[in-house]
Amino acid sequence: MPWTTPSRRSLLATAAGAALLTGCSGGGRSASGSDAPLERRVREAAVRDSEALLERYDATVRAHPALGPRLAPLRAAVAEHVGALRPDGARPTPSPGGSRAAAGAPQGARGAKGAPAIVAVTVPDQPAEAVAELADAERGLAEARVQVLADAPGELARLLASVAACGIVHHHLLTSNPGGQE
Amino acid sequence: MTRSQPSQPARQESASARALTAAQAALAAEHAAVYGYGLVGARATGPRANEARDAYGGHLARRDALTRTVRGLGGVPRPAEAAYTLPFEVRTPADVERLAAEIEERVAGAYSDLVRAAEGPLRREAADALSQAAVRAARWRGGGVAFPGLAERSDRARHS
């Protein structure tokens, strides 16, 4: 099961790097006062990153069902991030129901609809290692987001900073109780 | 590099005014945190006392950094209040932990606003401070939230 393909961490780092590039490629356009295209690009990249993280949570729980209860609340938070980061998802949705995820997905940002994710996820055989990789993925993505938010419009930067903070908290929660299975 | 926007200087001026306002608000939150942790530290016991001491030191450092930031932005750093009203009566160890968590959540809220208002290194510092406050809040609460520092999204179930 555990292959020697590049770890999820590096894949995430690549995805985040791509987000960085798209985030910075606005050139002088934003000087004209319109941040709309930049905002959309940053949001779409951030959604893809969170969906990839979501896929890693799902793969981890598929490989280690006993981790489900511990990971469920963290996964739920990541799913909320996907909703909030969507270009049309700027408003908080009152209902915590699970059906809104598919509601307004923009053309470019779907693809995680039962279909396999863009990158294959490999999960270590040992639950503790699987959790450690998840923790690494959370941290790597959070750090990349702090880079990306430097160039984002203010309100989106605030959201990205909050989502990054949540990722750092997840890293903390996943590493402060290693193994964590009773 | 177009200079055809006559309103650009005015926009930048108001942007730095917004950064100053947000930095002052974050400084006020750090003053309150220093005060609050004085109380938390006096009542926390065991490993929680160590956590409170670390947090106290962290907030002192942030307070001093923000004092310099406000000066750098051309403002007069706001002083601490003479006294603060506690949000609730602190009697039990659970109250102490709840107070510490609330302190951190308020600090996190101030830093998320500073992220929005600031640019460059200050925005980056604010984002780091937000993460730090979120981790401490989660430790005191025994679980995190999906959107640390965003009060408008805070009516969410917390997770552990």
Please indicate whether, in this complex, the C-beta atoms of A172 and B139 are within 8 angstroms of each other. yes
Give domain status of residue B38, yes or no.
yes
At CB < 8 A and 24+ separation, what contacts does A90-99 make? Answer: A90/A155, A92/B152, A92/B153, A96/B156, A96/B157
Which residues, numbered 101 to 140 in chain A, qualify as contacts with chain B under a Cβ-Cβ cut-off of 8 Å?
Answer: none
Distance CA A24, CA A127 (A): 38
| Number of folded domains that form chain B | 1
| Number of folded domains that form chain A | 1
* Angle between the N-to-C axes of helices B120-141 and B93-117, in degrees from 0 to 180, rounded to the nearest 10: 160
pLDDT at residue number A177: 65
pLDDT at residue number B2: 43
pLDDT at residue number A36: 82
ipTM of the complex: 0.90
On whether any CB of chain B is under 8 Å from the CB of A63, the answer is: no
Q: Is A38 a residue whose pLDDT tops 70?
A: yes
* Angle between the N-to-C axes of helices A127-148 and A154-175, in degrees from 0 to 180, rounded to the nearest 10: 160
pLDDT at residue number B31: 98
Which residues, numbered 80 to 139 in chain B, qualify as contacts with chain A under a Cβ-Cβ cut-off of 8 Å?
Answer: 108, 111-113, 115-117, 119-120, 123-124, 126-128, 130-131, 133-135, 138-139
Nearest to A146 among B113, B124, B150 (CB): B124
Strand partners, B144: B159
What are the chain A neighbours of B116 within 8 Å (beta carbons)? 154-155, 157-158
Q: Is B137 a residue whose pLDDT tops 50?
A: yes
What are the chain A neighbours of B139 within 8 Å (beta carbons)? 172
Give domain status of residue B109, yes or no.
yes
Residues in chain B: 160
Give domain status of residue A96, yes or no.
no
pLDDT at residue number A91: 53
Q: Is A92 a residue whose pLDDT tops 60?
A: no
Give mean pLDDT, residues A99-116: 40
Top residue of B131, B141, B145 to mutate, by most chain A CBs within 10 Å, is B131
What are the chain B neighbours of A150 within 8 Å (beta carbons)? 119-120, 123-124
Q: Is B120 a residue whose pLDDT tops 70?
A: yes
Shortest distance, CA B83 to any CA of chain A (angstroms):
30
Give mean pLDDT, residues A138-157: 97
Nearest to B134 among A96, A155, A166 (CB): A166
Distance CA A145, CA A127 (A): 27
Residues A43-81 have pLDDT tens digits of: 999 999 999 999 999 999 999 999 999 999 999 999 999
Give domain status of residue B100, yes or no.
yes
On whether any CB of chain B is under 8 Å from the CB of A38, the answer is: no
DSSP code of residue A29: G
Q: Is A18 a residue whose pLDDT tops 60?
A: no
Distance CA A32, CA A34 (A): 6
The pair phi, psi for residue B144, each rounded to 5°, is -105, 180
Give mean pLDDT, residues A149-162: 97
Domain residue limits at A74: 1-22+39-89+117-182
pLDDT at residue number B154: 81
CB distance B133 to A161 below 8 Å:
no
Give domain status of residue B30, yes or no.
yes
Strand partners, B159: B144
Q: Is B57 a residue whose pLDDT tops 60?
A: yes
- CATH number reported for the structural domain that contains residue B99 in this entry: 1.20.1260.10
Give domain status of residue A104, yes or no.
no
Domain residue limits at B99: 15-151
pLDDT at residue number B140: 97
Residue A90 pLDDT grade (very low, low, confident, very high; cuts 50, 70, 90) = low
A34, A179, B2, B12, B13 from A31: Cα distances, Å: 7, 50, 7, 12, 15
On whether any CB of chain A is under 8 Å from the CB of B68, the answer is: no
Give domain status of residue A159, yes or no.
yes
A2, A77, A92, B43 from A168: Cα distances, Å: 26, 13, 22, 28
Give domain status of residue A109, yes or no.
no
Give domain status of residue A32, yes or no.
no
Give chain A's mean pLDDT: 75
Give domain status of residue B60, yes or no.
yes
Percent of chain B with pLDDT strictly greater than 70: 88
Q: Is B8 a residue whose pLDDT tops 60?
A: no
On whether any CB of chain B is under 8 Å from the CB of A69, the answer is: no
Percent of chain A with pLDDT strictly greater than 70: 61
Contact pairs from chain A to chain B, CB under 8 Å: 110
H or E, element range at A162: helix A154-175
What are the chain A neighbours of B17 within 8 Å (beta carbons)? none
On whether any CB of chain B is under 8 Å from the CB of A152, the answer is: no
Give mean pLDDT, residues A108-115: 41
Shortest distance, CA A129 to any CA of chain B (angstroms):
20
**Going by C-beta distance under 8 Å and a sequence separation of 6 or more, which residues neighbour residue A109?**
A44, A47, A48, A51, A86, A87
A114, A167, B84, B152 from A98: Cα distances, Å: 15, 21, 42, 20
Please indicate whether, in this complex, the C-beta atoms of A84 and B135 are within 8 angstroms of each other. no
DSSP code of residue A133: H
**Going by C-beta distance under 8 Å and a sequence separation of 6 or more, which residues neighbour residue B4?**
none
Residue appearing with tokens 């292959």: A3
A16, B41, B63, B84, B160 from B57: Cα distances, Å: 33, 11, 10, 19, 26
